[in-house]
Amino acid sequence: MNKNKLNNSNKTNNNLHIYTGKLIYNDGNIYTLYSPTTKSTTNISNILYNICYSYNNYINIKIMKGCKILFEYDGRLINKINNKNGLLSYHVNSEDLESVLFYNTDDFVDIEIYSGFLDDMDYMDRKQGDNITYGTK
């Protein structure tokens, strides 16, 4: 297995989040996932932004469309200028996460995110008394 590929062996339940729904990219340059089952929207851009600019920007992320794996890498999540189009975009190590998200909008996908920072965000939500999962409207 490529060392940049996702490693499932040492994950804890609090740090692993799976989001499922229709991937939407709106005019505000925001990626969201809409779940018709729960009628909820998860702001994927907000989650990625908070991980990227946290003290611990390490992430394992896997994006699947049906049985097809579109993206599966782990490493530092960074926001850098894309050489192809000159736009700011998310990358895990040198792999272009932003393009995978952009070219799969309006499709139903599963996004699995593992990050130690997700547990910190959940703790802060619980401490403040919120009853929602971070990044969900």
Distance of CA 62 to the CA centre of its chain: 8
pLDDT average, residue stretch 107-118: 91
- Quick one: residue 14, left, alpha or beta (phi over 0 = left, psi -120 to 50 = alpha)? alpha
Q: State the chain's mean pLDDT as an integer.
A: 81
| Structural tokens at position 94 | 């040198």
What gap in Å lies between CA 89 and CA 1, rounded to an integer? 26
Give pTM, 2 decimals.
0.77
In this structure, how many other beta carbons lie within 10 angstroms of the beta carbon of residue 66? 10
- Model confidence at 75: pLDDT above 70: yes
What gap in Å lies between CA 42 and CA 88, rounded to an integer? 22
